[in-house]
Amino acid sequence: MSEMNKAFIKNLPIDAVERVFAALGEKPYRAKQLFNWLYEKNVGSFHDMTNFSKELRQGLDDSYELSALVLEDRLVSALDGTEKYLFKTRDGHFIESVLIRRDGTDEGRLTVCVSSQVGCPMGCGFCQTARIGFKRNLEPAEILDQLCHVRRISDLRNNNVVFMGMGEPFLNYENVLTAADIMNYSYGFHLSVRKITISTCGILPAIERYIDEKRPYNLAISLNDADPVKRARFMPVEKKYPIESVAALLEEKFPVSRNRLTLEYIMRKDNISSEDAGRLKKMFRHGWIKLNLIPLNRGDHGMELPSVGEVERFVKELEIMNVPVSVRKSSGTDIDGACGQLSGRRYHEAK
């Protein structure tokens, strides 16, 4: 069977892998062994799976492709150690992942930011990925393989994963949740549910489904404006799923026993006024909300960056209102750390 016709083994959840081994006349426990090789030991070939017979290894290799991605480029920031990865898919598309060292070392919090789509259909004005347009959803194997490659190349075991790379995760709901479940599974990457965060720009039906299904992972909403008129200028999703409707749903249904819901807020010069702070406080009144303020990346988006003093004043106003707030430090600014920049360059070169 040619490599282009092989199925990706990492697309399969544990019960499907058990069925594969049953069809081969093998015991169900082989599925857990395979997951251990794929994710815990993170091997690059079926032939490295030494507790499988040679015949079984060859049978798996004949039918399945182990890796869904090929590394195209890797950049490492001289400023803070952030690592940017550009991957190529089997059908010739490009996606990106980022390894973030929160304190600039290998000893602190290590977060891998993964992509969920090739490009993105949401058209947010401040987003580099939006300029690529939407190509297709990523399969679970292509999501999981980002983490496998980053761990293997960096020789580091990250302790956090965020679905905040290229794409809108909740428009690829099934594949994203399949990948998250494998990341959490004890024979997969075995990451705690508290260490996995899925970000959405506000796809209302998917948010409601996520809550109703009692999914355990952290949820983040890309807010960026509490004023619907201003938000609609930069985030077309506002016209279909108004943020006030999202906030009402969360107030009604989001369980208070969860980790805090995170609101991501990219700071521009025109969205950090006292009035903006007041709207945020009014819209999200509960203590389980955490506001994550993000500096706007420099670029040719035509938006004006706020000064350090303006940001400090905005943060202080929110703190006075008892809004839990943190300011995210920009990472990898010397290597085009924002997702979509490397991929966009490759697509532009191909034209």
Residues carrying an active site annotation:
96, 339
Handedness of CA 131, 113, 200, 335 (dihedral sign): negative
Q: What are phi and psi of 25, to 5 degrees?
A: 80, 20
Q: Which residue has the tokens 């075995």?
A: 190
Which of 237, 205, 206 has its CA nearest to residue 222?
Answer: 237
**Cβ neighbour number for residue 229 with a 10 Å cutoff:** 8
| 226-235: Cβ within 8 A, 24+ apart | 226/276, 226/279, 226/280, 226/282, 226/283, 227/271, 227/275, 227/276, 227/279, 230/270, 230/271, 233/125, 234/124, 234/125, 234/126, 235/122, 235/124, 235/125, 235/201, 235/202
- Distance, in Å, from the CA atom of 90 to the CA atom of 58, rounded to the nearest integer, reads 22
DSSP string of 98-132, one letter each residue: EEEETTSSSSS-EEEE---EEE-SS--TT-SGGGT
Which of 215, 197, 193, 168 has its CA nearest to residue 263?
Answer: 197
Beta-sheet strands, E only, within 183-272: 196-200, 218-222, 261-267
Query: Which residue(s) pair with 286 in the sheet?
Result: none
The DSSP output letter for 181 is H
Which of 97, 50, 52, 51 has its CA nearest to residue 71?
Answer: 97
